[in-house]
Structure formats: C-alpha cells, structure tokens
Structure 1
Amino acid sequence: MIERSKYVWLGVAGLVVTKDGRWLVVKKSYGGLKGKWSLPAGFVQPGETADEAVVREIKEETGIETKIIGLFGLRTGVIRNEISDNMLLFLLEPISGEISIQKTELLDVAFMDQETIKKDPDSSLLLTELNDKHASLHKKPLEGINPGDVFQYTAYKLFI
C-alpha cells in the first residue's frame, strides 16, 4: 500500500443555497479565517468520498442536513512551498435541520442574502468572489458506475 503524504491536503467546502437564494455561512473562531464569514468546510476523512465529507462537515458545523446539487469549483494552493492545499467546492441545498453552532470551531452561523455578504467587511475572499460569479455552472454526480473490480473501489462517483 502506498503511504499518502502529509504534505497533500484534500478539503471540501459547501455553498448551501436556500430556495429564496440565501447562503449558509459560518464565522470561524480560529486560524486565518478567524472572525470572517466563509463556507462550512473541512477535510476528507479516510473511508469517505469528498461529497460525503462536505455533507458531514456541514451537519457537524451547522446542524443543517443537505443534499448535493453538484461540484462547481476547486481551490488549490501551496503553503510555504511544501504543502499542496486543495479544496473541492460543492453546491448543495438544505433539506432539514435547524442551525446549531459547533462552538469549538465557530463564532456564528447564518443564512445571508448575497447583498449582505457583498457589503459585510467580514466576508472572506472566497465568499466575495463567489458572490460575483455564483455557482451557475456545476457538475452533477454520475453514480452507480464501476471502473472495474481490479481497482477495489467501495465508493466511486464521477462529477463530469
């Protein structure tokens, strides 16, 4: 088995949009986004697919259950010339739940309209950029396919 590098990170973030167009945003209590509005996000854990991870992270951080609409972007960068930091961006819709803040990671959670996000000085760069472009182009998952038993996938999805 190939050992995975601790220098390659795979994260996920979710843009959850209500029927009336409001976005689910979180205000982080730590790190570079401390005090900034951003998307619910986290890392993919062993044994889960990226789309499963984003649904889990949103539920853990906000209490909101969601459904994947599609994949719409990738944020990728290199930290200190050594860590490849990658984040898949998913579009989701809320299906149930009431907001409950994960107090160990977040200061606040809210559904905000795009105009409020645009005017709020605490909106992160990602939110500001998304607000200008919105996630109108997204890739829907193709499920129930198998590239061959030789690969031994227990979960396999294409977003094309």
Structure 2
Amino acid sequence: MKRGNVWLAAAGLLIDQDGRWLVVKKKYGGLKGMWSLPAGFVDEGETIEQAAKREVKEETGLETNAAGIIGIRSGVIKDQISDNMILFLLEQKDLSQKPVPCEDEISEVRWMAKEELLQNQETSVMIHEMIKYDFSLLKSGLDPVDPGKHFGYTSYKLFF
C-alpha cells in the first residue's frame, strides 16, 4: 500500500495481572531484534483503534479490547515523512490464551517486567521512555457518536 508522506500507525500495550508488558521482537525494519510494542500501519477503511487491535492479533494471536489511549508518538523522517503513532492500552479478552508470534513478522513475543525491559539493551527507546512516566488514560466511552450524516462517517469514536 502506498502511504505517501503522512504515515499513521497504531500500537497496543497489554499489561498482565502481574504488571508485565507484552512485547515483541520484529524480524524487519528499524526495530529488528528490539523489544517493542505490537504495532503497524492503519489500513484503509479502519479506525486507529481497530488497527491497534488487528496488529496485536496479527503479531501475537491475542484478541483484545481497547481501554483507551495512552500516548502519541510523532516524528518527521529525513525532513519529509510525517510518522505518527497512537498508543492504546488494550485488555486481553481471554486471559487463558497464550501469545504466539507471527512467524512472518515476529521472532519472539514475551511478557516482561518493566525492570527487565529497562535493563535489557534490546528494548526500544519508546518503551524506555514510556516506563519512566506514569501515563494517564484517555478512556473511550462515547461510541457510537453521530457527528452528523453530512460528514459521511461510517465509524466515529471519541477518546477523552
């Protein structure tokens, strides 16, 4: 898919009952071999929330629900590409289900304690920074909302 010079991606953070974070090691790209959150680009016809849940399912096999938004990552690559990511806190639907890495994209998936992630040299910068801050949750509670038929939205959701 051609993305042009404005990219929109979504990531999902899952935290288990012991406070461990679900992380993956990608087989490609700038995060190859690094612990990072399951993430990927938003596809045509889906919301960022749907993309976050889809990416987690594709990369780990886990079904999730969105609890809310915990952050935004935004940058510009080589003065040309606007690279943006919305980070969601997700909850696992079936706690008995074990994560399984997608063989095509992911070399490893694991639940890791924050301390372990901070000490690991293979942990992404974004995860290091996320752990340092006590994030607030922008909860989703206004679905469905109808902004007006004249806009033509087929999906519309607010996070506050």
- The C-alpha deviation readout for 1:68-101, integer Å capped at 9, x for no partner, is 1100111001111111100001111212232111
Paired with 1:103 and 1:5, the residues of 2 have a C-alpha distance of: 25
- Give 1:140's aligned residue: 139
**Alpha-carbon distance, 1:43 to partner:** 0.7
Paired with 2:14 and 2:134, the residues of 1 have a C-alpha distance of: 12
Task: Give the TM-score normalised by the residue count of structure 2.
Answer: 0.93
AA aligned to 2:38 is P
Helix, strand or coil at the partner of 1:6: coil
Paired with 2:64 and 2:18, the residues of 1 have a C-alpha distance of: 16
Structure 1 residue runs of 4+, over 6 Å off? none
- The C-alpha deviation readout for 1:111-130, integer Å capped at 9, x for no partner, is 11111111111100011011
Computed over aligned residues only, the root mean square deviation of the Cα atoms, in angstroms, reads 1.3
Task: Give the TM-score normalised by the residue count of structure 1.
Answer: 0.93
Residues 127, 21 of structure 1: CA spacing in aligned structure 2 closer, same or farther, 3 A cutoff?
A: same
Residues 21, 5 of structure 1: CA spacing in aligned structure 2 closer, same or farther, 3 A cutoff?
A: closer
Matches within 5 A, 1:65-104: 65-96=63-94, 97-104=97-104
Helix, strand or coil at the partner of 1:156: coil
Q: Which runs of 5+ in 2 are unaligned?
A: none
- Give 2:44's aligned residue: 46
Residues 35, 138 of structure 1: CA spacing in aligned structure 2 closer, same or farther, 3 A cutoff?
A: same
Which of 4, 10, 34 is 1:6 aligned to? 4
Matched residue count: 156
Paired with 2:124 and 2:3, the residues of 1 have a C-alpha distance of: 29
Helix, strand or coil at the partner of 2:71: strand
Helix, strand or coil at the partner of 2:93: strand
Paired with 1:134 and 1:48, the residues of 2 have a C-alpha distance of: 29
